[in-house]
């Protein structure tokens, strides 16, 4: 993961981000990246690994693996139910590293781990970073960690070369957005709507404004999540952002129909990126 290059705003100049490289390749192709979220350990550890591999094999470019947590304040009901089932089934933090290792042994897609910050603190920040790197992970998405309070993680990620993805919301001030851009490597996670995760019929128009604000703050890699569930919404998002993140819809498909169902949904969602790649998109700003 080391090499030359820069991240989305960290300015370190010494680390090449596998995530940002993947996004850049999709952007150069005239498209954007499809990022898929699944929780580790749901419905079982084995099935969660198989499901993650299956969605990559069906068009997902980057994996976001969620670590089940007892107080998932930002997760909607579908993801909460899945993570609580994983915890009830015996999920332990070490299973997250085992899953990353098993997945990266089978597919080349970068694997980001989405985790609330308390489990990382309890495990030990440097130990967590070392174990994630050893498992083949690409970095962390930390929804409840803000850059002001991330000094220990910033140091550990610099040392290991892991990506760090911070969140930006429509309610964020310009100063907060600038902090998120400067601190993030891989991409900035633009939350498309206010509130918790979950599929919505219409992706909030605030997402487009937020992406514009992040561009103005200097970000070159922005992915939009929360509420995306259809190929049409993927296509809409990739008209102005670098990636579309799908979570609840994939988790629901896995819950309802198992690995085959979530693989089929991933394939349909990926069609939203292929349409842009093949026909172009008037709203897409490349470069």
Annotated catalytic residues are 64, 75
Residues 6+ apart with CB under 8 A from 148: 179
Q: Determine if residue 265 is left, alpha or beta; phi over 0 gives left, psi from -120 to 50 gives alpha, anything else beta.
A: alpha
- Rounded to whole angstroms, the Cα distance separating 287 from 271 reads 23
Residue that has been written with the tokens 């803000």 in this structure: 146
* CA 33 vs CA 25, 44, 62, 84, 168: distances in Å: 9, 27, 7, 29, 18
What is the per-residue DSSP string for 199-232? Answer: --SS--THHHHHHHHHHHTT-S-EEEESS--SHH
Residue that has been written with the tokens 């429509």 in this structure: 170
- Rounded to whole angstroms, the Cα distance separating 106 from 126 reads 26
Contact 154, 164 (CB under 8 A): yes
Residue whose C-alpha is closest to residue 222's, from 232, 233, 213, 211: 211
With the C-alpha atoms ordered 106, 68, 110, 138, is the resulting torsion angle positive or negative? negative
Q: 13, exposed or middle or buried, with CB in 10 Å at 0-12, 13-18, 19+?
A: exposed
What is the per-residue DSSP string for 259-284? Answer: HHHHHHHHHHHHHHHHHHHHH--TT-
- Rounded to whole angstroms, the Cα distance separating 242 from 282 reads 15
């Amino acid at each position: 993961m080391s090499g030359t290059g820069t991240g989305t705003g960290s300015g370190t100049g010494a680390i090449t981000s596998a995530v940002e490289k993947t996004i850049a390749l999709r952007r150069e192709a005239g498209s954007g990246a499809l990022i898929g979220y699944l929780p580790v350990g749901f419905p079982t550890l084995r099935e969660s690994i198989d499901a993650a591999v299956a969605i990559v094999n069906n068009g997902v470019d980057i994996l976001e693996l969620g670590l089940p947590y007892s107080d998932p304040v930002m997760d909607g009901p579908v993801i909460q139910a899945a993570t609580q089932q994983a915890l009830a089934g015996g999920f332990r933090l070490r299973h997250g590293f085992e899953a990353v290792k098993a997945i990266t042994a089978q597919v080349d897609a970068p694997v980001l781990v989405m985790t609330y910050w308390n489990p990382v603190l309890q495990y030990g920040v440097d130990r967590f970073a070392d174990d994630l790197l050893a498992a083949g992970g690409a970095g962390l998405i930390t929804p409840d960690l803000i850059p002001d309070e991330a000094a220990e993680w910033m140091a550990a990620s610099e040392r290991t070369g892991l990506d760090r993805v911070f969140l930006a919301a429509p309610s964020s001030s310009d100063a907060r957005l600038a902090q998120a851009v400067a601190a993030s490597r891989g991409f900035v996670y633009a939350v498309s709507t206010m509130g918790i995760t979950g599929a919505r019929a219409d992706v909030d128009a605030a997402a487009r404004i937020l992406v514009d604000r992040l561009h103005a703050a200097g970000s070159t890699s922005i992915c939009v999540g929360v509420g995306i569930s259809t190929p049409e919404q993927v296509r809409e998002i990739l008209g102005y952002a670098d990636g579309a993140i799908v979570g609840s819809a994939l988790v629901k498909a896995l819950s309802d129909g198992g690995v085959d169902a979530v693989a089929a949904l991933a394939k349909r969602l990926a069609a939203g990126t292929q349409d842009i790649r093949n026909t172009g998109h008037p709203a897409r700003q490349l470069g």
